[in-house]
Amino acid sequence: MQLSNSEEQLMQHLWKLEKAFMKDLLEAFPEPKPATTTVATLLKRMIDKKFVAYNEFGNSREYYPLVKKTDYFSKHVNGLIKNFFNNSASQFASFFTNETELSASELKELQKIINKKLKKKKK
């Protein structure tokens, strides 16, 4: 199951806050803030999709994510690699390093990450 762009934006705020009431979520948005009814509709859809749940405190609901940010984005990146790069991580890495404006220091950092992962694989 996937989130729409609007749901993803709301989910970003919820991941950052970890738990939040409606007022907290509204405050997290930049101006112009969405209408309360819009956020309520998005939350309802996200609850139906099993991305969000809530605890009730009287008339208030405290929302929290059911899906970890890393799990959500890992699934997206893996889908991207599968659908656009013939399920080849090396094709994806080649595209990423050639088509983005990475600095020399960012490329060196990527190289360190890859080298570290290679050492773990050898063990």
What pLDDT digit, counting tens, does each position of 60-74 carry? 999 999 999 999 999
Question: Is 37:51 a contact under the CB 8 Å cutoff?
Answer: no
Question: Going by C-beta distance under 8 Å and a sequence separation of 6 or more, which residues neighbour residue 53?
Answer: 47, 63, 64, 66
pTM: 0.76
Write phi, then psi, for 39 (nearest 5 degrees): -65, -40
Last residue of a domain, one of 65, 86, 107: 65
Question: Which of 82, 16, 72, 24 has its CA nearest to residue 46?
Answer: 72
In a shared domain, residues 37 and 88: no
In a shared domain, residues 11 and 46: yes
**Number of compact structural domains in the chain:** 2
In a shared domain, residues 52 and 80: no
Q: Which two tokens stand for residue 5?
A: 């762009």
Question: Is 58:50 a contact under the CB 8 Å cutoff?
Answer: no
In a shared domain, residues 31 and 76: no
Q: What percent of the chain has pLDDT over 90?
A: 63
Average pLDDT over residues 12-39: 96
The domain in which residue 96 lies consists of 69-122
In a shared domain, residues 58 and 79: no
In a shared domain, residues 54 and 76: no
Look at residue 89 and tell me whether its pLDDT is greater than 90.
Answer: no
In a shared domain, residues 53 and 78: no
